[in-house]
Structure 1
Amino acid sequence: MPFRVLGPDDPALAALEDACRAHPEWETSLTIVPWAEYRDTLMQTLTAPTAPYEAVFVPGHVWVPELADAGLLAPLDPLFDRLPQLVDSYRPDDILPPLARESRFAGAQYMLPFFSDGHLVFFRPDEAIPDPGEGVPLIGPTEIARLAARAHRPPTCYGLALKAHPSEILLDWLPYLWAEGGDVLDEDGRPAFAGPAGVRALEAYCALRPYCPPDTDQFGNGEIAAWLQHGRVGVAASWGGQAAAIMLAPHAAGAAAYRVGTYPQPWNGTWGIAVPANLPPAVQEGVLAVLLQAAGPETDRAVTRAAGSPVRRSSYTPAELERYPWLRAQYEMVHRARTLPVHPRVGAFLGALYAAVHDAFTGKARPGEALARAEAQVRGVLAEG
């Protein structure tokens, strides 16, 4: 039977599309939905009487706990038991361990990792950055501010661009929160972002705005990529999954203008392919049989070329590290990265935190006030859970 895969508008999915096109016998096609519409389309799929798509892309630790806890995703382990040869050829041990962990919740696996989106920092070469030798430059918030001030020559070149769109700003801010010793939730699952560390981090983040283009509060992936491609910004953070577009685009400044590092504590989210629970078991097994073949090592190397953020050890060979100028930083980022709390209610309260950070950044509220308001909302959501 034909299989349909639902995914967001991300360059990495071109690798899966090409693999399916090269194997018509799989009878598998992709439906790509704009990011702004993706969550709604996904939830309609997972809550329908029978899912209209046989596989869906989900962002690991961000949504898997919520969706798995609600019984909306099929655990894959029982299906793996019925497909042992395909599992062996898929080579699950080749998946980088930090990314493999994101595919699991409460002891069960719910997705096949496909690409990651974690923080890489693109910056103009500067002798003031300590030379890491064979290592990867680690660019903390203090270095961001210094590099931005050094490069700021508007309108020819702005010192910094921040991915501060209302739908992006929280993740852009997290490395600043962690650098101050703050976190989203503490070890007891209580809000931990509105204390002195969180306020300091948000004040420091807001203080960077004078180095940015005036409309940086509306910048998402596309805008950050464009400013880097044209060499019009001194330093900017974007996702590893955008690195190929930034560094390899025809006529782009790319590798000639920038080096690539990461934060000491970057954020990373791993996108993978999951199977809806609201499908017959035979259909679940059939689509997983295709996905195990489609998401193998060859496709992962294609993810590097299409997006920049492969998930397998075998994609980080010395030859690949030499070929792609961001790949060492991507590997370092994966092993340094932190995540959002693995909690079924995270998806229900993140909106309040996004809004608070954006309100502070745009001057609608003071950082302490904005975070205190978000803290009250988050406590309410957690109490309902």
Structure 2
Amino acid sequence: MPEPTTTLSRRTLLGAGLASFCTPAFAEMRDGTHFAIADLVRGAPEAIGRPLRIVLPAGSAANLVPVARQFTDLTGIDVELDPAGVHDVASNVLIAHLEEVHRYDFALPATYDIPDLVAAGALVPMDDIELPGRVPPSAAAIYSEGDSFDGKHYGYQTDGDTYLVFLNRNILEDRAIADGYEDAYGARFAAPESWGEFDRQVAYVSSSPGDAFGALLPRAPGYVEWEFWLRFLAKGVWPFSPEFRPQIAGDAGVEALEDMLALSPFLAPDASSHRGLSGNWQSFQTLPIYMTFGWGGAQKLMNQPGKPLHGRLSHAVIPGGDGPNTPAALPCFNWGWSYSVVSRTEMPAVAKAFALFAVSSSVSTDAVRQADGFFDPFRDEHYRDPDIRAIYGDAFLETHRASLANAIPDLYIADRGAFFSTLGMWLRLVLDGVVPPAEGLTRVSQQWELLTDRLDRAKQAERWLSLRRKFPDRVAANLRDLVA
């Protein structure tokens, strides 16, 4: 077990992020790389008389429209956008692949779906696609861990989805609540830096005079898994051993799930609904709620002029553990969208060129500027753009970049979808009172073992160890394996 590192506070993390943000290394101006990329495929014979077809989440259509328009203007190649539901992009790609039809050339799946699409043979490695010329070098995305799988490159990250705590300043700055909390606990009422402090503040706000709720957390299937995952990591334990044996059913996992149960009475009633995050964000704007979780999309939605919480939000990285030898903060990346080329495409070079074009400095900045689209900053120059700064606000961007640059990766393993859906199903059964925490987590572990036995355990363990090495040092040094 590595020696624990010096405690990393939220303030230290933000200071480091802001320092990087202001250094000359990040002073690169928007370049003209997209012109050179467009030149490579202008007049490509495989694109004559047919469009480049892209399946994408409907919420990112606003981001893609200016990208597609510029690509067509510079190459003469039409681009056809096919919007799908936020959870349907990967399944649409997979169905088309299994039906052996050429429905799409290109896709914008959630980054965490790439491993499952690769396993199905539905994506082409970018490195296997040759372009008719050299692409000028360009700065990479701040976070790109999810774009590769099993040593091959399958996507280009285009959305900086780092998970953050959102705080309603109307409640955070309420002197009666703040003074009462400080009297009760001898601690300042400020953005929580540990899960224990988070839970204590939520319970206090919900129990205070008035109608305020402490939090509205996304606990519907598909989202509840992340809360447990982060609470578990905050206990200082790796979720899998180096041999890829589950470690969530021990004391740390049971404690994390018991903490979630104990908090449930203090949450706003929509927490367990099936509306997903966007519905929760709508409630967060209209009800007196202290905290929620979200990404940059929530900031875009709630910081619009005329919205109830415009200019009234504070933000924090995901809190860490309460005791020694636990991570002090858990900045994480847990969604994102990655430009990927589908295996049934009839114009792979054009599709790859579009991906490179879309993530280039100038074009990607235009995409992120679209206030109605999903995409959030993912390159350093995005954080300096005046229009983007006006949309998000400088305080949010400071927290966002610090979290993105220090983020732990999502669970990029084979059958990731099956692993997380199993976890989500049993978490809901526990939170609904059907089974106790220890039994629910034991069932998850058993089903995870069955899933692994169906796969190649040695290969899955290799993937997991590779992923562990990508955890930030300050987090990894405070995670341990359980001794059997």
Candidates 333, 338, 352, aligned match of 1:268: 333
Q: Any unmatched runs of 5+ in structure 2?
A: 1-49, 173-177, 319-328, 456-484
What CA deviation, in whole Å up to 9, does each residue of 1:16-74 have, x standing for no partner? 123224554341122111234444323112323133011111222x2222322443210
Candidates 187, 192, 197, aligned match of 1:143: 197
SS in 1 for 2:109: strand
Match of 2:113 in 1: 63
What CA deviation, in whole Å up to 9, does each residue of 1:297-333 have, x standing for no partner? 2343332544462211211238666844421121122
SS in 1 for 2:136: helix
What CA deviation, in whole Å up to 9, does each residue of 1:208-246 have, x standing for no partner? 111112231015111221123225210111123332112
Candidates 165, 178, 186, aligned match of 1:121: 165
Candidates 327, 342, 356, aligned match of 1:292: 356
| Closer/same/farther in 2, CA of residues 100 and 339 from structure 1, 3 Å limit | closer
2:444 is the counterpart of 1:374: yes
Check the 8 A contact 2:90/2:113 in 1, yes or no.
no
Match of 1:165 in 2: 220
Write the mapping of 1:20-31 to structure 2, written as runs, cut at 5 A: 20-24=68-72, 25-31=76-82
Check the 8 A contact 1:55/1:274 in 2, yes or no.
yes
Residue identity opposite 2:155 in structure 1? M
Check the 8 A contact 2:105/2:342 in 1, yes or no.
yes
Match of 1:346 in 2: 416
Check the 8 A contact 2:56/2:81 in 1, yes or no.
yes
Match of 1:237 in 2: 293
TM-score, scaled to structure 1:
0.87
Check the 8 A contact 2:54/2:106 in 1, yes or no.
yes
| Closer/same/farther in 2, CA of residues 70 and 21 from structure 1, 3 Å limit | same
2:276 is the counterpart of 1:220: yes
Q: % of aligned pairs identical?
A: 20
- Comparing 310-319 with 227-236, greater Cα deviation is found at 310-319
Q: Which structure dedicates a bigger proportion of its chain to strand?
A: 1
TM-score, scaled to structure 2:
0.70
Check the 8 A contact 1:247/1:254 in 2, yes or no.
yes
SS in 2 for 1:293: helix
2:52 is the counterpart of 1:3: yes
Q: Any unmatched runs of 5+ in structure 1?
A: none
In the TM superposition, residue 198 of structure 1 has moved relative to its aligned partner by: 0.8
Alpha-carbon distance in structure 2 between the residues aligned to 1:5 and 1:250: 34
Alpha-carbon distance in structure 2 between the residues aligned to 1:287 and 1:328: 34
Candidates 75, 95, 109, aligned match of 2:141: 95
What CA deviation, in whole Å up to 9, does each residue of 1:241-280 have, x standing for no partner? 3321122263231322x21111121331332010111233
Question: Hey, which bits of structure 1, 4+ residues long, moved more than 6 A?
Answer: 127-132
Alpha-carbon distance in structure 2 between the residues aligned to 1:348 and 1:84: 40
Match of 2:126 in 1: 76
2:211 is the counterpart of 1:211: no
Check the 8 A contact 2:55/2:106 in 1, yes or no.
yes
In the TM superposition, residue 143 of structure 1 has moved relative to its aligned partner by: 2.5
Compare CA radii of gyration and give the structure with the larger one: 2
RMSD over aligned CA atoms reads 2.7
